[in-house]
A and B are shown apart, each in its own frame.
Chain A
Amino acid sequence: MASKPVIGYAQVAKNFGSVVAVNGVSLDVAEGEFLAIVGGSGSGKTTLLRLTNRLIEADRGTITVEGEDISHVDPVALRRRIGYVFQSGGLFPHLSVTDNIGITPKLLGIPEKEIAARVDELLDLVRLDRTQHRDRLPQDLSGGQRQRVGVARALAARPRIVLMDEPFGALDPLTRDALGEDYRALHHKLRLTTVMITHDMTEAILLADRIAVMRAGKLLAQGTPAELGRSDDAYVLELLRTPRRQVARLNERLPQGGAA
């Protein structure tokens, strides 16, 4: 990779007791890149993501963010400059949509007025109606709306990096597709660097520039979908076969739809 990576993992390892969660992973994420980390449950993909903003601490190895070794960076400050989208939203149930979205700017001490303007801007960005949603509580939103608010909250403090933990997993297929597309557009528009965790290879292929495959704590392969296709790892090939099979079957069953 020519330019300096925005996120760099070097020989990173993390154990939980006797369980090896991440085992010697080295991986670089370039500026402006959309990387998907794909793996089953227990593959260590979520642990790797949490290590990135020090929600948990690595046992061994080095992680750099924008060139700095994060073990020397104040974890609270680090988290405030990295957007994080939680599985199923992670919205605070006692706070309104506005207060949820504005939380990180508020922690950073940005004036109320500026935050209000920023919240409106973000509601537009994630395509939620301002007047209709601003004062609602999370319990009054649909799953898709909640996740849009989750994305808006992650972007509120204008981070250059966004981490996403299976953000669209719990949504119905239509919402999931729309939200995925919308986020990808945002990623380009705001020139973000995004790392997304998913167990769904189809989603990874559709959204990401590059894909990293993890299994049992190890990084099996990484590259563009085309590069992955040339892998000699049986598990990686198996993961890639599934979307292909689905496409073939879809084409067969939906002839009028044509090739995707």
Chain B
Amino acid sequence: MSLISDPRWGEALSHLPDYLGNHVRVSLAALALGLIVSLPLAILCRNRPVARNILLALASIVQTVPGLALLALFYPLLLLAASVTLAWFGVAFSAFGFLPAMLALALYSMLPVLRNGITGLNGIDPALLEAAQGVGMTPRQSLVMVELPLALPVMMAGIRTAAVWVIGTATLSTPIGQTSLGNYIFAGLQTQNWVFVLFGCFASAVLALAVDQLLGLIETGLRNRNRLRTTLGGVGIAALVAATLVPSLGRSSPAYVVGAKTFAEQYVLSALIRDRLAAAGLPATTRSGLGSNVAFEALKAGDIDLYVDYSGTLWANQLHRTDIKPRKELIDELKTALAKQNITLLGELGFENAYALVMPRKRAEALGIHSVADLAAHTAGLSIAADYEFFSRPEWAALRDAYGLAFRAQRQMQPDFMYAAVASGEVDVIAGYTSDGLIAKYDLVTLDDPKNAIPPYDAILLLAPKRAGDDRLKAALKPLLERIDIADMREANLRASGNDANSSPDVVAKWLWEKVGKR
């Protein structure tokens, strides 16, 4: 199938009003906040060199923090703030999505606005300042009538830079729950849907370019005192904002939000759940690409209504347990513990997505390795790769200590790439996921864990506190419980990792339902 006629373009296009609208909304709010804070600061410290230098240094430091890290940082920060306001004033706010994204992006926008604001105000001919004083202006009148208008072109150039930065960085706000054009990129990367990745990059680049050109028109209009240009640019910006915001404003927000973490299985399952809810007459939408802890906190706060997590993950990350219990016992204990936080553990989906050490079948056979215990004798000469969190998780420590693993090297990798990496021999062993379809595709083998060092990772459905008594929801989800076996999930995951029209999570979810729904 040619790239042009690929139906995934159509699917991508259908998300555009939602993604673009949200992207513009959060960028606009961040830029507005950035301006409201930065411009007064620039005015206040224009004649105070010490304050000015401190402020610019701080803004520069913020700028050196990678955009993704800055966004990720605001989430726990706001969670903390929300718990403080809850304790002191009895009100909490959502630390999820819009607010942390807007605050982080606003902070990000401050440097160019501050720097150009100060440069613009300090660059004014002193003779004109004296003239302003001489004709009888007060300092405030001089600022409003002379200094600000004269500094405006330089300030506008800073606003323009800030706008382009914010629009670009806003694509990174997807993992903290803010829908943006980044949804295309994150989903596309996870499911190897390059059409989505391309579409997302293209859309955000076009948006940034359009805004840059229009603000540029305003800037040169101000610089050359050409009212026509300034007006054209202003009208263009207003039209752009209206065109991107209006379609997303008109939509009523669906009642149920299904969360999904950042990997293909989660995209497929959230699409499946959304479709099941819709079939039961419960309008639903997905909020995908959430960080692992973000998803849980978002559920607790009611920002998402339900999502699929894994028993072992919650056992370690939320209950902070390092001991290991048999599957059923662990789930029962988890259920009780989650109930204390008013979170409903509705049930298991029927398959497990556990961490497992994985290596090529031929290599394992050649070395006589069947289990992790066999592997231990060889680790000094081998390298291991895993996703970004594995090596900092308690399971790794448990596994390493139980078997005395000491690898020559350990590397972190994007999960999608590590299977290919181990198949090609670039690394010797990976910490893969048992439900991953690529294990079969690349003829890899999962090593046994005779000491049960890795806890069970049953896929479980969690409901937000506010949905605890929602019987219609529970009834709609019932057909999914205990129905999805590991073979189906592997096959679904393999399909989702393909790079063709049938690999989109929506299509795979429909395929999965056809298999599961018949049971």
Contact = CB atoms under 8 A, between A and B. Distances in A.
A104 B135 contact: yes
Nearest to B137: A107
Contacts of B225: 94, 137, 139
Contacts of A107: 135-137, 141
B120 to A, nearest CB: 13
Interface of B: 127-128, 130-138, 141, 145-146, 149-150, 225
A4 to B, nearest CB: 25
Interface in A77-96: 77, 79-80, 84, 86-88, 90-94
B134 A90 contact: yes
A76 interface: yes
Interface in A162-220: none
A53 interface: yes
Given A87-B127, A92-B146, A93-B150, A79 B138 contact: no
Nearest to A163: B134
Contacts of B138: 76
B131 A90 contact: yes
A118 interface: no
Contacts of B134: 53, 55, 79, 84, 86, 90
The binding surface of chain B is classed by DSSP as helix
Contacts of A20: none
A146 interface: no
A45 interface: no
Contact of A79 (B127, B136, B146): B136
Contacts of A86: 127, 130-131, 134
Interface of A: 53, 55, 76-77, 79-80, 84, 86-88, 90-94, 103-104, 107-108, 137, 139, 153, 157
Given A92-B146, A94-B150, A107-B141, A55 B133 contact: yes
A90 B134 CA distance: 10
Query: Of residues A94, A153, A157, which shows the largest number of chain B Cβ atoms within 10 Å of its Cβ?
Result: A94
Contacts of A55: 130, 133-134
A90 B127 contact: yes
A171 B396 CA distance: 83
Contacts of A104: 135-136
Query: Of residues A103, A137, A157, which shows the largest number of chain B Cβ atoms within 10 Å of its Cβ?
Result: A103
Contacts of A87: 127
Given A79-B136, A107-B141, 6 more contacts: A53-B134, A79-B135, A90-B130, A92-B128, A92-B145, A92-B146
B338 to A, nearest CB: 64
Contacts of B133: 55, 79
A98 to B, nearest CB: 14
Contacts of B149: 94
Nearest to A88: B127
A108 to B, nearest CB: 8
Nearest to B127: A90
Nearest to B136: A80
26 contacts: A53-B134, A55-B130, A55-B134, A79-B133, A79-B134, A79-B136, A80-B135, A80-B136, A84-B135, A86-B131, A86-B134, A88-B127, A90-B127, A90-B134, A92-B132, A92-B150, A93-B128, A94-B146, A94-B150, A94-B225, A103-B135, A104-B135, A104-B136, A108-B136, A137-B225, A139-B225
A96 B130 CA distance: 19
A118 to B, nearest CB: 14
- The 4 lowest CB-CB distance pairs between A and B, nearest first, are A80-B136, A90-B131, A79-B136, A84-B134
Nearest to B130: A55
Contacts of B145: 92, 103
Query: Of residues B135, B145, B146, B149, which shows the largest number of chain A Cβ atoms within 10 Å of its Cβ?
Result: B135
Nearest to A87: B127
A136 to B, nearest CB: 11
A84 B145 CA distance: 18
B9 to A, nearest CB: 48
B388 to A, nearest CB: 53
B137 A90 contact: no
A71 to B, nearest CB: 17
Query: Of residues A86, A90, A91, A93, which shows the largest number of chain B Cβ atoms within 10 Å of its Cβ?
Result: A90
Contacts of B146: 92, 94
Nearest to B138: A76
Nearest to A91: B131
Contacts of A88: 127
A86 B145 CA distance: 18
A131 B196 CA distance: 61
Contacts of A137: 225
Nearest to B150: A94
A82 to B, nearest CB: 9
A90 B131 CA distance: 6
A166 B150 CA distance: 25
Contacts of B127: 86-88, 90
Nearest to A140: B225
Contacts of A94: 146, 149-150, 225
Nearest to B133: A55
Contacts of A79: 133-136
Query: Of residues B132, B134, B137, B146, which shows the largest number of chain A Cβ atoms within 10 Å of its Cβ?
Result: B134
A87 B126 CA distance: 12
A76 to B, nearest CB: 5
A86 B498 CA distance: 75
